[in-house]
């Protein structure tokens, strides 16, 4: 199993090493797009995710998580090449659609692959620790990619897209040599097409029923949606914010890299932090830190800015190692695991799809305040709902 884990970590590192992240807004602006149009693209991305997330989750559950991850890597190659050649809103919209499909094919499938790999070897209790390690690999890879992307952006803002395409090809190659998974629930190949479709629809209904029947799982999905919007918004907001502070593309890439290196360190310490502080304290503390830091970014300048970005990096590092084990703990039917995780992805992407155009309408200058307000509002609503949804006691650990 050691080889399988190493390959999985390497896939996580390569599949999410997007060199274009620290220069994407600047790149699209150089090709003639406005900030409002760029944020609208974020809404398109989220809408496509919502449309394909459940079908791709079913695909992963019934055809194979590894195959889903392979196709996800190839879709990112296509997304990068389309963006590289785009000079219009329509071209970038197509790139965003391909990137959304890529994310949907990998999201949920990779976590489900890891969980079942451990479960089949009698080590499901290690999932929290292994997810933290995988998140650390992902964040460390992102840090290196962002530093390289910023440096390449100093030469040509389009170059990071080409290099990301090459890195995604590497992720595809790694997925090809990973352990194949052949789920028992896969329908026989000789079944009529209509019967197969009905089986897949029943599978999706089962996943939706799993969520409706578990209040704690539904609460965690809502929590994940609020936190995800705040973390995802930084991809769009840091670039104009740092540019206004006088940072060049290369310096912006280094700031991104430092933020993600810190997040990687925190992710690696995820299981220890959960033991020291407890899951509930971390859940509320993470959201409170994000909300407060966004509000303060509107007011501070100089070195204090980097301190607040560091706080957000800590929240980013905690998010996946904290929330994913809690979600997986509540999923009792493993054959629908990737599909239920896709439901969670739909929730957070849907929230981002609503937030992106609103932030684009108000502009970059007001977006930090909007994020802070969303964080505080979400904190209040989740607290009220939590009072009616007691935390389960004695649930099996996933450390």
The superfamily CATH assigns to domain 2-180+203-387 is MFS general substrate transporter like domains (1.20.1250.20)
Domain coordinates in residue numbering, the chain: 2-180+203-387
Q: According to the model, what pLDDT value does residue 363 have?
A: 75
Q: Is the dihedral of CA 307, 16, 111, 134 positive or negative?
A: negative
Lowest mean pLDDT among 40-49, 128-137, 171-180, 241-250: 128-137
Rounded average pLDDT over 295-308 = 81
Q: Are 149 and 157 in contact (CB under 8 A)?
A: no
**Unique residue bearing structure tokens 């809502």:** 222
**Calpha distance 349→328 (Å, rounded):** 19
Q: According to the model, what pLDDT value does residue 394 have?
A: 40
pLDDT of 81 strictly over 60 = yes
∠ CA 93-353-270, nearest 5°, is: 110
pLDDT of 186 strictly over 50 = no
120-162 pLDDT per residue, tens: 888 888 887 887 788 778 878 888 999 999 999 999 999 999 9
**Unique residue bearing structure tokens 């194979």:** 64
pTM: 0.73
Q: What percent of the chain has pLDDT over 70?
A: 91
Alpha helices for 192-278 (secondary structure H): 193-212, 215-244, 249-268, 270-277
**Unique residue bearing structure tokens 């970014």:** 297
């Amino acid at each position: 199993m050691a080889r399988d884990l190493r390959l999985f970590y390497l896939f996580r590192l390569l599949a999410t090493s997007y060199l274009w992240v620290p220069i994407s807004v600047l790149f699209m602006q150089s090709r003639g797009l406005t900030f409002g149009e760029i944020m609208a693209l974020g809404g398109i991305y989220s809408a496509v995710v919502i449309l394909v997330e459940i079908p791709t989750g079913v695909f992963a559950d019934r055809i194979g998580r590894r195959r889903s991850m392979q196709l996800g890597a190839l879709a990112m190659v296509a997304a990068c090449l389309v963006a590289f050649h785009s000079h219009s809103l329509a071209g970038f919209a197509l790139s965003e659609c391909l990137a959304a499909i890529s994310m949907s094919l990998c999201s949920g499938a990779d976590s489900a692959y890891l969980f079942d790999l451990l479960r089949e070897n009698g080590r499901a209790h290690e999932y929290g620790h292994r997810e933290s390690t995988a998140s650390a690999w992902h964040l460390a890879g992102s840090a290196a990619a962002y530093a390289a992307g910023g440096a390449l952006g100093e030469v040509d803002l389009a170059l990071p897209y080409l290099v990301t395409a090459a890195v995604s090809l590497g992720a595809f190659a790694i997925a090809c040599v990973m352990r194949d998974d052949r789920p028992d629930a896969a329908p026989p190949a000789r079944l009529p097409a209509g019967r197969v479709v009905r089986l897949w629809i029943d599978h999706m209904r089962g996943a939706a029923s799993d969520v409706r029947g578990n209040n704690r799982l539904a609460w965690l999905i809502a929590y994940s949606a609020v936190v995800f919007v705040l973390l995802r918004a930084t991809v769009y907001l840091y670039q104009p914010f740092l540019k206004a502070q006088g940072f060049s593309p290369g310096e912006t890439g280094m700031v991104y890299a430092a933020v993600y290196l810190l997040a990687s360190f925190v992710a690696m310490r995820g299981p220890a932090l959960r033991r020291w502080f407890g899951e509930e304290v971390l859940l509320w503390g993470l959201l409170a830190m994000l909300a407060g830091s966004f509000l303060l970014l509107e007011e501070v300048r100089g070195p204090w800015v980097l301190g607040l970005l560091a706080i957000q990096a800590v929240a980013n590092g905690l998010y996946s190692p904290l929330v994913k084990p809690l979600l997986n703990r509540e999923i009792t039917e493993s054959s629908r695991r990737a599909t239920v995780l896709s439901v969670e992805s739909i929730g957070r992407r849907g929230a981002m799809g609503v937030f992106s155009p609103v932030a684009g309408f108000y502009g970059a200058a007001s977006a930090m305040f909007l994020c802070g307000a969303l964080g505080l509002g979400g904190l209040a609503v989740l607290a009220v709902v939590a009072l009616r949804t007691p935390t389960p006691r004695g649930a099996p650990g996933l450390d």
